[in-house]
């Protein structure tokens, strides 16, 4: 065979041996590649990983307990570890609470509507990187006994980093259907990349453009969190621009729930406002009992409040949003809020310029079919709608035609 042949044979045997060794040593996992998420979530995860391998000292001492409070340096420390990581990552206690109690931590998120039960406890939320995971070793719905930080999720498993696991900081994984998982908490991280939304409808379609006529790119499962980077209005819906499964598309936000992020303003046009949900963008916004600055003060809205606007009233100077405030009908200056979504049950639900799109349309004294008819408008009559109200299933617009002020049903009009 010769020296060269022997050398080739030896090299080939090494390659085969190396392949076999790699085959058995490399861990097999369905875990997805770690996708970076919110900057604050990334800081939290990086801080947690910096403590990987940390173990308790003598008599159960930990630096996390010492940091938390005097006398806690030998107490159970799983939530103190999470709170410590949040603190070192510059995350406010308004986002992740400073507590030593898993029950207190879980209740904090419940009170802020940011806790979702796992599959084993009737939930359908799909956790994501940066969420917190609460466990109940006793399998009781109101008894959280352990907590961790999620750093990755696959189709079947969730991957965590936890404190006080075998007296150390360790990585672990669990089946998403594990009865030990009580639920997931979504910290209200500051989102500099857009708005975070939770898909609340089964198999939500996302399309290659904003509008129902655009091509479907696929569906998104209920419980998935998406990041919206832009918004448009089409076909009576507000559409959010997203990236999902590597594809950029648009989905109707009516079938999603807003979670957090800097509100993205929807530009409907000058002096055009829609019915729907708004996020308040100013501080100490006055709430009044009528659509006027002379109306009686009922209270104030704060930045970040979400309100449902059921009417738009124009007083000649500004537009006012009609809302329910502490059980009463109230109004606020809508210029201090951004539209989150508009009700898709009727595509004609905003102020602006319209034309009559029926052979004839009755102009009434007030919004509703029971009120006096002032005149009958012909097809293509131009209308400027300054106020809108919902009456039952209909949207009515306030207009001025030939010197007469009245209301007409906008379903018989075309928005220009």
Q: What was the pLDDT predicted at 130?
A: 93
In SS3 terms, 227-266 reads as: EECEEEEECCEEEEEEEECCEEEEEEHHHEEEEEECCCCC
The architecture CATH gives domain 276-342: Roll (2.30)
User: pLDDT digits over 21-32, tens only?
Assistant: 333 333 333 333
> Tokens at residue 342, please?
């508009």
Q: What was the pLDDT predicted at 223?
A: 86
- The domains of the chain are located at 39-185, 195-261, 276-342, 352-415
Q: Does domain 352-415 have CATH number 2.130.10.10?
A: no
Question: What is the rounded distance in angstroms from the CA atom of residue 159 to the CA atom of residue 173?
Answer: 4
Q: What was the pLDDT predicted at 308?
A: 85
Question: What is the rounded distance in angstroms from the CA atom of residue 165 to the CA atom of residue 78?
Answer: 8
Angle at the Cα of 377 from the Cα atoms of 375 and 379, rounded to 5 degrees: 170
Contacts for 126 with CB less than 8 Å, ≥ 6 apart? 153, 221, 223, 224, 225
- Matching fold, domains 39-185 and 276-342: no
- Which CATH superfamily hosts domain 39-185? endopeptidase domain like (from Nostoc punctiforme) (3.90.1720.10)
Q: What was the pLDDT predicted at 256?
A: 86
146-160 burial code (b ≥16 CB/10 A, e <16)? bbbbbbbbeeebbbb
Q: What was the pLDDT predicted at 302?
A: 84
Contacts for 392 with CB less than 8 Å, ≥ 6 apart? none
Residue 97 CA neighbour count, 13 Å, CB half: 18
Kindly state the DSSP code that residue 393 receives in the 8-state scheme: T
Class of domain 195-261: mainly beta
Q: What was the pLDDT predicted at 416?
A: 66
Block means of pLDDT (10 residues each) for the chain, length 416 residues? 50 44 35 55 93 94 94 94 94 92 95 90 90 96 95 93 96 96 91 78 92 93 88 78 92 83 66 76 90 93 82 83 90 85 50 86 92 93 85 83 87 79
């Amino acid at each position: 065979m010769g020296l060269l042949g022997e050398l080739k044979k030896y090299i080939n045997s090494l390659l085969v041996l190396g392949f076999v060794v790699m085959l058995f040593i490399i861990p097999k996992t369905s875990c997805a590649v770690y996708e970076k998420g919110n900057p604050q979530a990334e800081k939290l995860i990086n801080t947690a990983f910096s403590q990987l391998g940390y173990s308790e000292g003598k008599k159960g001492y930990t630096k996390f307990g010492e940091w938390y409070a005097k006398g806690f340096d030998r107490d159970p420390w799983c939530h103190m570890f999470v709170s410590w990581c949040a603190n070192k990552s510059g995350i406010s206690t308004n986002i992740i609470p400073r507590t030593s109690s898993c029950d207190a931590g879980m209740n904090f998120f419940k009170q802020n509507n940011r806790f979702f039960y796992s599959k084993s406890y009737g939930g359908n939320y799909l956790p994501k990187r940066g969420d917190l995971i609460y466990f109940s070793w006793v399998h009781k719905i109101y008894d959280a006994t352990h907590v961790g930080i999620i750093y990755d999720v696959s189709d079947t498993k969730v991957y965590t980093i936890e404190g006080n696991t075998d007296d150390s900081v360790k990585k672990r994984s669990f089946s998403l259907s594990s009865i030990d998982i009580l639920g997931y908490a979504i910290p209200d991280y500051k989102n500099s990349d857009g708005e975070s939304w939770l898909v609340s409808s089964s198999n939500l379609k996302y399309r290659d453009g904003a509008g129902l006529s655009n091509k479907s790119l696929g569906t998104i499962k209920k419980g998935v969190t998406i990041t919206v980077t832009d918004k448009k209005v089409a076909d009576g819906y507000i559409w959010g621009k997203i990236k999902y499964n590597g594809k950029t598309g648009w989905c109707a936000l009516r079938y999603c729930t807003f979670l957090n992020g800097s509100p993205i303003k929807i530009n409907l046009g000058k002096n055009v406002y829609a019915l729907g949900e708004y996020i308040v963008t100013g501080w100490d916004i006055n709430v009044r009992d009528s659509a006027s600055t002379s109306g009686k003060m009922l209270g104030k809205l704060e930045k970040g409040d979400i309100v449902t606007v059921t009417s738009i009233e124009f007083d000649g100077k500004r537009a006012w949003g009609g809302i329910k405030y502490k059980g009463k009908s109230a109004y606020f200056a809508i210029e201090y809020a951004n539209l989150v979504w508009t009700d898709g049950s009727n595509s004609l639900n905003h102020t602006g310029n319209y034309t009559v799109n029926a052979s004839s349309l009755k102009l009434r004294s007030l919004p509703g079919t029971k009120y006096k008819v002032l005149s009958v408008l012909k097809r293509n009559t131009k209308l400027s709608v300054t106020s809108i109200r919902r009456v039952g299933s209909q949207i009515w617009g306030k207009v001025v035609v030939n010197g007469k002020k009245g209301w007409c049903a906008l379903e018989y009009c075309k928005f220009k």
